[in-house]
């Protein structure tokens, strides 16, 4: 029944910012997914007889890879596999399940916010026993194994029924199929004041949540409509293999239907969306979009309104390109703030060591120590908890936050699918020009960001070029680690404004001068052939 299958290495199975992401057609090559999964197992030690959580966001090819991952886990000696019903688990729910069940780790099948369907993207990532994305020492080991792999272990067995909750035996391994929502919903109920939120809805408060045809539909429906009784809240709530044609990236461009609704004069008071695998979030109030960086700062400043955080937070962590707004809150609260490289995996040690409680990234990710992933529905519930307690509008909350702390104007310009060699050339040229930039036009620091983890002392470099100005403004350039075609250049631009009389400016105009400088310093048009960004958030 056990089978050892001969295989050959594939080029380019290097995990990026969050696991291995490629086109579905790349994953469909014979042995491609199997090679990567075996390389994960070959990089781990001591899992025989232990549990592995498996689930994904339901995108095209999920159903196939869930089955082969279960067979391979059994053949490699896991004693138990815990799988979400229908092969579904949101990324934060998978993180919770790993922690709750004391599993050895988990395999999450997702390409997150990237489009799905036969021509879309697919992805596989490994999360460790703390529930968080594998740290770099494991992803480096996995990549090394993918380069030398010659066999993988599997079982000769038919697909098993994962559509029914229950326990099935597969060779020596027990496969437990679980309700993907129940444990997660109970966790949320333990963190937030559900009674206060239900009262808010009873008072006539209206909200729309866009599941974007992806994984969070069932979670949002059970919690917002089921527990809070807010019927009609969820739109695009059924997870579909192609996300119903949506690009499940919760931003102003891809969640336009929701944003148009909420920004309209008679729209609901509050809108939110989550991405393909449920870890990102978009927060929008009537007439007021909340940037992820502001959302992190406002959550940090108001977290004590939620029961789980009522005693205060230990610290705040943000990725380097995220605006410095959260640092100002941490300073006022008298708690430390941490600046990490992009990638949720860098928050894991800080959360495990209880040095940070709330973490966030400009890339629409916010979360806390309740799991080891960012968590879209958590962020929405945190906002609902704040709204329920403060009984102010989103706009009032954001504006009073700016009045108290000042406003960090912030934008990100993405140049997608740029030719890889040209994008690398731009970064190399920029890196070379760094020493000459200091002292010009108010630039006081120009470097390539590196990070030494304060917990395990691990060191990471080459994490993004920073230009820091004497007034605190910043321009940052980095190449995305999550794309699957060419390179995506991200340019992050930030300016601090203390004067409340200037807070009402439109973001792009407030940042216009810095944007021109950012384009000029990197010579973006000449280097990439692009006159304008493809996405502005």
Nearer to ligand G16, 193 or 361 (CB): 361
Q: Using CA atoms, how far apart are residues 521 and 283, in angstroms rounded to an integer?
A: 33
Tell the smallest beta-carbon distance from residue 91 to ligand G16 (Å): 7
> Contact 441/467 with Cβ under 8 angstroms?
no
Residues 6+ apart with CB under 8 A from 489: 414, 415, 418, 423, 426, 477, 478, 479, 480, 524, 528
Tell the smallest beta-carbon distance from residue 363 to ligand G16 (Å): 4
Phi, psi angle pair for 366, to nearest 5°: -140, 150
First to last CA, the chain: 52
Nearer to ligand G16, 407 or 478 (CB): 478
Instruction: Kindly state the tokens that stand for 62.
Output: 């999920």
Q: Using CA atoms, how far apart are residues 91 and 451, in angstroms rounded to an integer?
A: 26
Position of tokens 């409340």?
Answer: 500
CA distances from 6 to 26, 30, 72, 368 (A): 19, 11, 14, 43
Nearer to ligand G16, 268 or 278 (CB): 278
Long-range CB contact pairs, 228-231, < 8 A, 24+: 228/194, 228/197, 228/198, 228/201, 229/198, 229/201, 229/202, 230/201
Position of tokens 């390389």?
Answer: 39
Tell the smallest beta-carbon distance from residue 179 to ligand G16 (Å): 24
Tell the smallest beta-carbon distance from residue 483 to ligand G16 (Å): 7
Nearer to ligand G16, 60 or 152 (CB): 60
Nearer to ligand G16, 112 or 323 (CB): 112
Tell the smallest beta-carbon distance from residue 230 to ligand G16 (Å): 26
Q: Using CA atoms, how far apart are residues 368 and 95, in angstroms rounded to an integer?
A: 12
For the chain, helix (H) and strand (E) counts, in that order, are: 18, 26
Nearer to ligand G16, 34 or 362 (CB): 362
- Binding footprint of ligand G16 on the chain (CB under 6 A): 17-18, 112-113, 275, 279-280, 319, 342-344, 361, 363, 365, 480-482, 490
Hey, how many other C-beta atoms are within 10 angstroms of the C-beta on 58?
30
- Give catalytic status of residue 112 as yes or no: yes
Hey, how many other C-beta atoms are within 10 angstroms of the C-beta on 406?
17
CA distances from 93 to 333, 418, 530 (A): 30, 34, 39
> Contact 464/342 with Cβ under 8 angstroms?
yes
Position of tokens 């529905």?
Answer: 377
Tell the smallest beta-carbon distance from residue 49 to ligand G16 (Å): 30
> Contact 21/122 with Cβ under 8 angstroms?
yes
As a whole number of Å, the CA-based R_g of the chain is 23
Nearer to ligand G16, 279 or 327 (CB): 279
Tell the smallest beta-carbon distance from residue 18 to ligand G16 (Å): 4
Nearer to ligand G16, 7 or 17 (CB): 17
Q: Using CA atoms, how far apart are residues 251 and 336, in angstroms rounded to an integer?
A: 29
- 3-class DSSP state of 434: helix
Residues 6+ apart with CB under 8 A from 516: none
Tell the smallest beta-carbon distance from residue 484 to ligand G16 (Å): 11
CA distances from 360 to 315, 345, 377 (A): 12, 12, 14
Instruction: Kindly state the tokens that stand for 355.
Output: 């040095």
Q: Using CA atoms, how far apart are residues 265 and 263, in angstroms rounded to an integer?
A: 7
Among residues 39, 43, 95, 112, which one is catalytic? 112
Instruction: Kindly state the tokens that stand for 323.
Output: 């605006």
Nearer to ligand G16, 17 or 25 (CB): 17
Nearer to ligand G16, 121 or 193 (CB): 121
Tell the smallest beta-carbon distance from residue 335 to ligand G16 (Å): 22
Tell the smallest beta-carbon distance from residue 321 to ligand G16 (Å): 8
**Catalytic amino acids?**
112
């Amino acid at each position: 029944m056990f089978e050892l299958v001969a295989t050959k290495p594939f080029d380019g199975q290097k995990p990026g910012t969050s696991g291995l992401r490629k086109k579905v057609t790349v994953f469909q090559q014979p042995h491609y997914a199997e090679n990567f999964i075996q390389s994960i197992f070959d990089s781990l030690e001591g899992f025989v007889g232990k549990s592995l959580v498996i689930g994904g966001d339901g995108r095209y090819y999920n159903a196939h890879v869930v089955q082969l991952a279960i067979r391979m886990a059994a053949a490699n000696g896991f004693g138990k596999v815990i799988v979400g019903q229908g092969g579904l688990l949101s990324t934060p729910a998978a993180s919770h399940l790993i922690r709750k069940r004391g599993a050895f780790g988990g395999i999450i099948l997702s390409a997150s916010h990237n489009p799905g369907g036969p021509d879309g993207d697919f992805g596989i990532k490994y999360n460790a026993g703390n529930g968080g994305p594998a740290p770099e020492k494991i992803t480096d080991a996995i990549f090394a194994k993918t380069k030398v792999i010659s066999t993988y272990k599997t079982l000769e067995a038919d697909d098993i029924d994962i559509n029914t909750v229950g326990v099935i035996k597969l060779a020596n391994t027990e496969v437990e199929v679980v309700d993907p929502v129940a444990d997660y919903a109970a966790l949320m109920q333990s963190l937030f004041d559900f009674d206060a939120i239900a009262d808010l809805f009873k008072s006539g408060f209206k909200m729309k949540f866009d599941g974007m045809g992806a994984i969070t539909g069932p979670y949002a429906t059970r919690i917002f409509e089921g527990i809070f009784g807010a019927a009609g809240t969820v739109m695009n709530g059924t997870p579909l293999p192609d996300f119903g044609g949506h690009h499940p990236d919760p931003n102003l461009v891809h969640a336009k239907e929701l944003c148009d609704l909420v920004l309209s004069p008679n729209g609901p008071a509050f809108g939110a969306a989550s991405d393909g695998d449920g870890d990102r979030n978009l927060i929008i109030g009537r007439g007021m979009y909340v940037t992820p960086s502001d959302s992190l700062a406002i959550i940090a400043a108001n977290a004590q309104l939620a029961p789980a955080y009522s005693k205060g937070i230990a610290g705040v962590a943000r990725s380097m390109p995220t605006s410095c707004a959260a640092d100002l809150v941490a300073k006022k609260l008298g708690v430390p703030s941490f600046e990490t490289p992009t990638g949720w995996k860098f928050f894991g040690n800080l959360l495990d060591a209880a040095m940070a409680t709330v973490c966030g990234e400009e890339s629409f990710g916010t979360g806390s120590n309740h799991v080891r992933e960012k968590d879209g529905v958590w962020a929405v519930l945190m906002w609902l908890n704040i709204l329920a307690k403060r009984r102010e509008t989103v706009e009032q909350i954001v504006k009073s936050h700016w009045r108290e702390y000042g406003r960090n104007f912030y934008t990100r310009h993405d140049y997608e699918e740029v030719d890889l060699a040209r994008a690398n050339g731009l970064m190399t040229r920029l890196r070379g020009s760094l020493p000459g930039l200091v002292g010009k036009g108010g630039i006081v620091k120009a470097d390539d960001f590196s990070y030494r983890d304060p917990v395990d002392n691990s060191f990471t470099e080459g994490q993004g070029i920073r230009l820091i100005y004497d007034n605190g403004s910043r321009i940052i350039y980095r190449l995305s680690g999550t794309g699957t075609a060419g390179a995506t250049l991200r340019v992050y631009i930030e300016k601090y404004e203390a004067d409340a009389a200037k807070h009402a400016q439109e973001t792009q105009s407030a940042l216009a001068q810095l944007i021109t400088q950012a384009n000029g310093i990197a010579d973006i048009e000449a280097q990439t052939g692009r006159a304008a960004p493809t996405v502005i958030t």
